[in-house]
Amino acid sequence: MKRVFSGVQPTGNIHIGNYLGALKQFVELQDENECIYCIVDEHAITVPQDPKELKKHILDVAALYMAIGIDPKKSIVFVQSSVSGHAELGWVLNCAANTGELFRMTPFKAKSQGKQSVGAGLLTYPVLMAADILLYDTDIVPVGNDQKQHIELTRDLAIRVNAKYGKDTFVVPDGRFMKSGARIMALDDPTSKMSKSAPNDHSRISLLDEPSKIKKSIMRATTDSDGIVKFDIENKPGVSNLLSIYSAFTGKTVEELEAEYDGHGYGDFKKDLVEVTVNALAPIKERYNEIRESQELIDALKDGAERADAIARKTMERVRDRFGLGL
Ligand code: ATP
Ligand code: LTN
């Protein structure tokens, strides 16, 4: 059995980009692998957070994990800060990483753009992500395309440490990316990725959005003026993005969809996409409402933390030994 690890930040507004790019894979993988799914709260504080909101968002994400079909009996589901090994290994790996490679990370460049000084956590956050992954001897990391560079860094760090401290110190993991859905773009600007933090609420569809909001966001999504439903990222990024979403939700290929909407305008296409999206999200929302306030949710996270901690402790013992730390 392979070991799978992934994480989502509890920063609110989990959207269909997160779902189609990452979360959907989590469910697919859990029957045949040993899966560990984390709510990465220590990552969230790389930017300022309101403590009350953060606590709420941790449970929101946990409930969404369960609502999309992650079964805490099959998979380990837990909150990152419940297992101290993440911060501990993060420090060790910080000492193996170079500032040069961290300054090159695209998300860092984007978030620090134009600022003379930013929180140091924004720079070292990919190292904490590497620690999350390496702490569990992970083989596979299901994520969206935007995380490719971070996965490469994780692999580089593992290979570097193994070369110096012994080749079985860390397992070198592989990223896993969806064929369709790996990069869902903002509905109002199909040249930037759909994001939790974008100010325009209509730029994204959140998993718990009401049908009326979903309809508005899709109907006003940016397209173009030629009225042909065709996949062409270069010239028709808006329509291409909607086709990717449609395909990821239904399993129909883009070619099938192009044929289906041949001769139809964007109106029909968008109306159907509204229906597809509303229908796909309805059961998630229903299950979320059942579970969000339940004791079952808290119990699952406590049990998950214990199981994760047992694995993490073993790795940290090995790491301390290899690095010559402690007595
Ligand atoms: P933001 O959307 O604000 O940039 P984020 O990328 O930091 O948030 P996370 O919660 O850390 O969001 O991401 C969870 C998962 O969702 C990651 O695997 C990430 O690659 C994936 N993901 C995020 N945005 C998209 C997107 N637009 N399309 C596909 N996958 C995405
Ligand atoms: N950096 C990721 C979230 C994340 C993650 C992880 C994903 C933190 N630790 C470990 C996979 C494995 C993000 O911002 N999307």
Ligand nearest to C-alpha 61 = 1
pLDDT in tens, 189-200: 999 999 998 999
- SS in 3 state form for the chain? CCEEEEEECCCCCCEHHHHHHHHHHHHHHCCCCEEEEEECHHHHCCCCCCHHHHHHHHHHHHHHHHHHCCCCCCCEEEEHHHCCHHHHHHHHHHCCCCHHHHHCCHHHHHHHCCCCCCCHHHHHHHHHHHHHHHCCCCCEEECCHHHHHHHHHHHHHHHHHHHHHCCCCCCCCEEECCCCCCCCECCCCCCCECCCCCCCHHHCCECCCCHHHHHHHHHCCCCCCCCCCCCECCCEHHHHHHHHHHHHHHCCCHHHHHHHCCCCCHHHHHHHHHHHHHHHHHHHHHHHHHHCCCHHHHHHHHHHHHHHHHHHHHHHHHHHHHHCCCC
Residue keyed to tokens 């309805």: 282
193 is catalytic: yes
The one-letter code for the residue type at 225 is S
Q: How many CB atoms are located within 10 Å of the residue 117 CB?
A: 6
Ligand 1 midpoint to CA 44 (Å): 12
Minimum-distance ligand 1 atom for the alpha carbon of 11: 10
**Lowest mean pLDDT, pick from 12-21, 131-140, 285-294, 310-319:** 12-21
**Pocket of ligand 1 contains residue 197 by CB under 6 Å:** yes
Q: How many CB atoms are located within 10 Å of the residue 220 CB?
A: 12
Separation between Cα atoms, residue 51 and residue 13, nearest integer Å: 17
**Pocket of ligand 2 contains residue 206 by CB under 6 Å:** no
Q: Parallel, antiparallel, or unpaired: how do β-strands 34-39 and 140-142 relate?
A: unpaired
111 is catalytic: yes
Ligand 1 midpoint to CA 126 (Å): 14
302 is catalytic: no
Look up the pTM and report it.
Answer: 0.95
Share of the chain above pLDDT 70, in %: 100
pLDDT at 180 exceeding the cut of 80:
no
The one-letter code for the residue type at 268 is D
pLDDT band of residue 179 (cuts 50, 70, 90) is confident
Q: Parallel, antiparallel, or unpaired: how do β-strands 174-176 and 140-142 relate?
A: parallel
CB of 33 closer than 8 Å to CB of 64: no
Average pLDDT of every residue of the chain: 96
Minimum-distance ligand 2 atom for the alpha carbon of 125: 1
Residue 79 pairs in a beta bridge with 39
pLDDT band of residue 260 (cuts 50, 70, 90) is very high
**Pocket of ligand 1 contains residue 147 by CB under 6 Å:** yes
**Pocket of ligand 1 contains residue 244 by CB under 6 Å:** no
**Pocket of ligand 1 contains residue 18 by CB under 6 Å:** yes
pLDDT in tens, 148-167: 999 999 999 999 999 999 98
Which one from 24, 52, 55, 111 is the annotated catalytic residue? 111
* pLDDT score for 127: 98
Ligand 2 midpoint to CA 272 (Å): 33
Which class for 51: exposed (0-12), middle (13-18), buried (19 or more C-beta within 10 A)? exposed
Q: Across residues 213-232, what is the average pLDDT?
A: 97
* pLDDT score for 13: 81
CA dihedral (49, 51, 55, 61) in degrees, to 10, reads -10
Which one from 148, 196, 213, 216 is the annotated catalytic residue? 196
